[in-house]
Structure 1
Amino acid sequence: MFHGQVPDPSLLQRLAPALGLHAADLFVIAGAPVPDDLAPVDANAGRCVPRLVEHAMFLSPEHRDELRRLVESLPQEEHARLPAPRPPKHEQYPAGPGALLLRMLRNRNLAWTGTATTFLLVTGRYWSASTYGMVGHGRKQLTPDLLLDFSAVLGIPAADLAALTDVALPDEPSAPKPTTTAGVAELIWDVRRLTADQLRQVGDIAESMRPGCLR
């Protein structure tokens, strides 16, 4: 896309909406560092994402939209104005298709353990945390079925991911039905810059919205 050159950050910011991508993801695709104002700010908050997803999976699309509006209304904590933490050493990957997808997950504040749990909740398929790490480091092949799982969690069309990774889509897709996961990937994106305290509060609210909840 960029002929081996890292483009100007302002160009990436302008291009992203036209390409239907989040700016942070386009930085990853371009091989450029994600700016602090686009990156997650609290690594501890990522541990709260699976709990939120677990509750959100039981909500109707309308209630998920309501939850997203709540997240949008939350103030940005002072913590979010500090420099974004750098990924740990084990998440510093060599270039490759798996690395591209794992870096996109990092944009959503998902480390290996959070990734494994979140994928299980959204897709029903479980791989260990270390297996996702192996995918990122190119030591395990990125399979067509796994590409569909990434599509469901990242909220990026599978055809786009196939083009980016050069991995063919399966003849008979086994991805979760959109009606059962509508809004979940978007919610994961929305909470990426919340602090752990904020995300725990959102998780509590999501739990209280579940059908039959007595809280």
Structure 2
Amino acid sequence: MAGNEGFGALLERFADHRRSGIGALARLAGVSGAELPSLLRGGAPSPSLLRRLAPALGLHAADLFAIAGVAVPDDLAPVDTRAGRHVPDLVRHTVALPPQKRAALRRFAASLPREERTRPVPVPPVHERYPAGPGALLMRMARNRNLDWSATARTFLVLTGRYWSAATYGGIGRGRTRPTPGLLVDFSAVLGVPAGDLAVLTGVALPGAPPDPGPSAAGVAELIWDVRCLTAHQLQQVIARAEAMRQ
């Protein structure tokens, strides 16, 4: 969240940004009259409320948990954290594909069976236990896509051309490096969340209309989200398919 602002105030501002207002949001989410006022007064959001609010806000439920500073439930977390190290390779092959083949690759990824979780979701390592702040929000959303510091750095390099070290992205999460407008645009391309939305959520002002991410990013953020449900072995299958499509 922006600074240490309460989730209720941030939610109200985000609803206004979406030009729906808090009342319309309540109706869209099927929220009772008492739940949102309590939240706006500083009450803690329940997991059930976050799940109902997310689609009304146009957000993934896991991302809204991250925005609220609430632990992501096991059923919304990536299935196999080992798979995340392969995401940059998948992105590298995908950006070389035309739109039709990218869509076919997404269909292939979606066709793979969803395997049962075989181990509990690991507790975040100490270095990923971020203090509240805009960078923490962004890095938690990256983790929702199974990207640790290293995978985040490599994915950004392939998709946006920006190279920052893994430790620098860690510094963003820990509040040592404040996100810039340019970095916010890059996060938008990787997360698939409009830069204007990220600006409202983080409090990082954009100097003007954010640039179009361009054809190289089209569909890639969606694929990154799709494969978070796959195991490392399955993700390697998707990478092999993407590599074959390039030939």
TM-score by length of 1: 0.93
2:241 is the counterpart of 1:209: no
State the alpha-carbon separation in 2 of the partners of residues 141 and 175 from structure 1. 23
Where in structure 2 are the equivalents of 1:169-188 lying within 5 Å?
169-171=206-208, 173=210, 176-177=213-214, 179-188=215-224
SS at match of 2:69: coil
Task: Assess, with a 3 A threshold, how the Cα gap between structure 1 residues 23 and 46 changes in structure 2: closer, same or farther.
Answer: same
State the alpha-carbon separation in 1 of the partners of residues 221 and 126 from structure 2. 26
State the alpha-carbon separation in 1 of the partners of residues 189 and 52 from structure 2. 25
RMSD across aligned positions (CA) = 1.4
Residue 128 of structure 1, CA deviation: 0.6
2:195 is the counterpart of 1:158: yes
- Indicate the residue corresponding to 1:101 in structure 2: 138
2:92 is the counterpart of 1:54: yes
SS at match of 1:125: coil
State the alpha-carbon separation in 2 of the partners of residues 44 and 185 from structure 1. 19
- Indicate the residue corresponding to 1:29 in structure 2: 67
State the alpha-carbon separation in 1 of the partners of residues 80 and 188 from structure 2. 24
2:229 is the counterpart of 1:167: no
- Residue identity (%): 66
2:83 is the counterpart of 1:45: yes
SS at match of 1:191: helix
Where in structure 2 are the equivalents of 1:49-88 lying within 5 Å?
49-78=87-116, 80=117, 82-88=119-125
Q: 5+ residue gaps in structure 1?
A: none
**Contact 2:97–2:245 (Cα < 8 Å) also in 1:** yes
Out of 148, 154, 159, the position equivalent to 1:111 is: 148
**Contact 1:148–1:175 (Cα < 8 Å) also in 2:** no
Tell me which amino acid in the other structure corresponds to 2:43: Q
TM-score by length of 2: 0.81
Q: Deviations over 1:79-107 (max 9, x none)?
A: x2542222211111000000000000000
Query: Quick check: which has more Rg, 1 or 2?
Result: 2
Tell me which amino acid in the other structure corresponds to 2:127: H
State the alpha-carbon separation in 1 of the partners of residues 221 and 172 from structure 2. 21
